[in-house]
Structure 1
Amino acid sequence: MKRDLIVFGEDWGGLPSSTQHLIRRLSQDRKIVWVNSIGLRRPTLTVNDCKRAWQKLTTRSVSNKGASKTCATPQSLTVVNPSTLPAPRTMLGRKLAAGMLRNQLAPIIAQANLHNPILWTSLPTAVDVSDQLGTSSLVYYCGDDFSSLAGVDHHTVAQREQELVEKADLILTASETLFTRFSDKCTRLLPHGVDYSLFSTPCPRAEDLPNNGRPIAGFYGSLSEWLDYKMLAKTITLLPDWNFVFIGKPCEAALALKQHDNVTLLGPKSHHELPGYSQHWSASLLPFTNNDQIKACNPLKLREYLAAGRPVISTPFPAVNEYRTFVSVVQNAEEMAKALRNAAEQAPNAHQQTAVSAHTWDARAEKLATWLDAL
């Protein structure tokens, strides 16, 4: 009989993370209690933090519907929206937060009737409750370098991560760079997969893509400070006869790109809508800055871009090396502009699609299941 899971991750729903992709597939033959984000930093008095805190306080504590309007939550998965103290720093605060979580989760876990559950956490701050929920195995899924991740209380999270690593029975890392940080005796490399069928199956062109006959360079994902906006702005200036389309919630630096007449910011889109863009623009962009966070990342969109079949143009970072045959790696705006011009007339590339066709989330989940069952 498969062991069930208690999962500490981000909020369920919206654009799916690697954890959500994996857990959704594991839920086919396991019961899951999914605990929405308990935070990686203390909240501030900003508008966004206040809105998020209010949402946490007013959302139902238990739901089987999640937040996504387009991708139903599996029946075997129970979503919990806990109230707790995010990333407390003092020992008293940690004990108080752990007690709050235990008291909220214990009756939900009991009602779920889990079989010999494994505790899985993608958040180091869950270590304080890791031995209080009736689990006998602990899995740490490390998808980011938290020591350099923006918007994180680095000192607090680094301390929790060290404690978590010492306790974990299995550590999973999403990139080679992260893999080298941990002891190899209980660490396994689990690179991101791809929903290959979704991104490779031809679909209609999105109606809000620019339709003025110009080639389109596109990006979707987090429009945060880890994109090289200086390089992007110069590239956009060098290619006035191109459209540049950005999908995602923009930061201030991203909003500043709107000063260019050939830039379109479309805002966030649902995951299932993305192929309607990436299959129909001329080239996909990965314009990252060179920092520790990017060196450790393995972006989901890399394999999704490749599966869509359009040319991919990227700044250099370790995870892209596996696909150098199919990715144009550029160092500056002039090289990016040249790569885009070369990409303008290229047909969909079946070879790059084949290169990622075996790296599906189903295949990743199957390998993961063997590791979990061996605990």
Structure 2
Amino acid sequence: MPTIIYPPSIPWNWMFQRPQQLLGRFSASGQTVLYEDLGNFSTSKNNLLSPSFLICQGSSAMSVPHPRPRILWLTVPSHINLIENYDPDLVIYDAVDEPKDEFASWAPYYPSILERADLIFCSSNSIYEYFLNRHPHVYLIPNGVDYVHFSPAPTHRPIDLPSGKPIVGYSGAIAPWVDWDLLKLVIQENPEINFVFLGALFQLNKFPLKLKNVYYLGLKSYQQLPAYLHHFDVGLIPFRQTEMTKGCNPIKLYEYYAAGIRVLGTPLPELLTIPKINLESSPHLFSLRLKHLVKEVDSNKAERMAYAQANDWSERVGRMLQYILERANTNQK
């Protein structure tokens, strides 16, 4: 079985995103995964999460004996320059964001990615369309969800959740691509609702909103997250519509749906085909739709959860493995 190495890109215990989800499932399917953690570690150590998943903290995956073929899995474009450090048999670039706006610094590395990556996976249609006619091995693999993790009803209510009013929540990066101006108006127009925000600050020095019915609860662990989502009456995806966000396939959409909650977002291209979603671009209409959602009887929970279940990460990994093994076999001939 192959070994997949992931260079230092995302702290393992930060927000649990696409790389952690996919690599965890690759390990569960029998591949060896060596995850080089991002951070400053006073001493080098290797943490064994499972017989086939090792987190390397302050140490190189290359110091760990492992079987070949060796696959280098990249999500940060500049890491294309690290290829020589790993001597891989296969280089995979998993394209998760547009190289624009907040990620504009990625763009200069794309010519090298097109030249040196053996396989490119894309999380959204706009990213896929960019690579499709520029590289011979490109596949669209949207984000997904750990349905078993998010769908069961929680056994407790988190103690830091506000009470007494309906809860409208946001889970994810507290970042510049969130439409904070829209949210400020919507929150001011809905004093009868508590607005809860979960996640880490990203490219922001402080939480942007200070309003009486706003609760920023910080970053929650992946294990804690479902208990919070199940207490949301509505989950928000209030992204600004930019060149970068047109390539966003929000993981939070699938996690909200797996928890059974209704979703209100701005009309990002990747959300336009999602069943039973609510989309508004005008702040005033967004606010009116939110008022309606909080008051109405929810009759589409089962359909939303079924959609999430059909988009489990396991389905994504099954397809990826097929493409990876085909490409690896071709390279070995």
The question of a shared fold, defined as TM-score above 0.5 by the shorter chain, is answered with yes
Q: Shift in Å at residue 15 of structure 1?
A: 2.1
Q: 1:129 aligns with which of 59, 82, 86?
A: 82
Q: 1:187 to 1:76 in 2, by over 3 A?
A: same
Instruction: Give SS of 2:34's match.
Output: strand
One-letter amino acid of the structure 2 residue matched with residue 355 of structure 1: Y
Instruction: Tell me if 1:172 matches 2:121.
Output: yes
Q: Shift in Å at residue 279 of structure 1?
A: 1.5
Instruction: Tell me if 1:147 matches 2:100.
Output: yes
1:97 paired residue number: none
Q: 2:263 aligns with which of 297, 309, 312?
A: 312
Q: Distance in 1 between matches of 2:208 and 2:316?
A: 38
One-letter amino acid of the structure 1 residue matched with residue 5 of structure 2: I
Instruction: Give SS of 1:322's match.
Output: coil
Q: Distance in 1 between matches of 2:11 and 2:321?
A: 23
Contact 2:184 2:209 in 1 (8 A): yes
**More displaced 10-residue stretch of structure 1: 6-15 or 247-256:** 247-256
Q: Shift in Å at residue 206 of structure 1?
A: 2.2
Instruction: Tell me if 1:74 matches 2:50.
Output: yes
Q: Distance in 2 between matches of 1:32 and 1:289?
A: 35
One-letter amino acid of the structure 2 residue matched with residue 27 of structure 1: S
Alignment size in residue pairs: 319
Q: 2:237 aligns with which of 286, 289, 292?
A: 286
Q: Shift in Å at residue 211 of structure 1?
A: 1.1
Instruction: Give SS of 1:336's match.
Output: helix
Instruction: Tell me if 1:342 matches 2:318.
Output: no
Q: 1:196 to 1:36 in 2, by over 3 A?
A: same
Q: 1:326 aligns with which of 269, 276, 287?
A: 276
Q: 1:160 aligns with which of 109, 114, 130?
A: 109
Q: Shift in Å at residue 358 of structure 1?
A: 1.2
Q: Shift in Å at residue 141 of structure 1?
A: 0.7
Q: If the length of structure 2 is used for normalisation, what is the TM-score? A: 0.89
Instruction: Tell me if 1:352 matches 2:301.
Output: no
- Deviation digits for residues 196-255 of structure 1 (CA, Å, limit 9, x no counterpart): 12222111332221111x111110111111111111111111111111111123476863
Q: Shift in Å at residue 183 of structure 1?
A: 3.2
One-letter amino acid of the structure 2 residue matched with residue 298 of structure 1: N
Instruction: Give SS of 2:120's match.
Output: strand
Instruction: Give SS of 1:159's match.
Output: helix
Q: 1:62 to 1:144 in 2, by over 3 A?
A: farther
Instruction: Give SS of 2:158's match.
Output: coil
Q: Distance in 2 between matches of 1:110 and 1:242?
A: 53
Instruction: Give SS of 2:92's match.
Output: strand
One-letter amino acid of the structure 1 residue matched with residue 178 of structure 2: L
Instruction: Give SS of 1:130's match.
Output: helix
**More displaced 10-residue stretch of structure 1: 129-138 or 167-176:** 129-138
Instruction: Give SS of 1:261's match.
Output: coil
Q: 2:313 aligns with which of 361, 365, 368?
A: 361
Q: Distance in 2 between matches of 1:198 and 1:113?
A: 30
Contact 1:120 1:140 in 2 (8 A): yes
Contact 2:180 2:208 in 1 (8 A): no
Contact 1:179 1:189 in 2 (8 A): yes
Q: If the length of structure 1 is used for normalisation, what is the TM-score? A: 0.80
1:98 paired residue number: none
Q: Shift in Å at residue 74 of structure 1?
A: 2.8
Contact 1:229 1:253 in 2 (8 A): no
Query: What stretches of structure 1 of length at least 5 have no aligned partner?
Result: 38-54, 66-72, 83-103
2:330 paired residue number: none
1:201-350 correspondence to structure 2 within 5 Å? 201-203=152-154, 204-212=156-164, 214-250=165-201, 255-258=207-210, 260-323=211-274, 325-345=275-295, 346-347=297-298, 349-350=301-302
Percent identity among equivalent residues? 26
**More displaced 10-residue stretch of structure 1: 134-143 or 197-206:** 197-206
1:17 paired residue number: 17
Q: Shift in Å at residue 161 of structure 1?
A: 2.5
Instruction: Give SS of 1:272's match.
Output: coil
Contact 1:225 1:253 in 2 (8 A): no
Contact 1:140 1:165 in 2 (8 A): no
Query: What stretches of structure 2 of length at least 5 have no aligned partner?
Result: 328-333
Instruction: Tell me if 1:113 matches 2:66.
Output: yes
Q: Shift in Å at residue 302 of structure 1?
A: 0.8
Q: Distance in 1 between matches of 2:281 and 2:56?
A: 44
**More displaced 10-residue stretch of structure 1: 330-339 or 236-245:** 330-339
2:35 paired residue number: 34
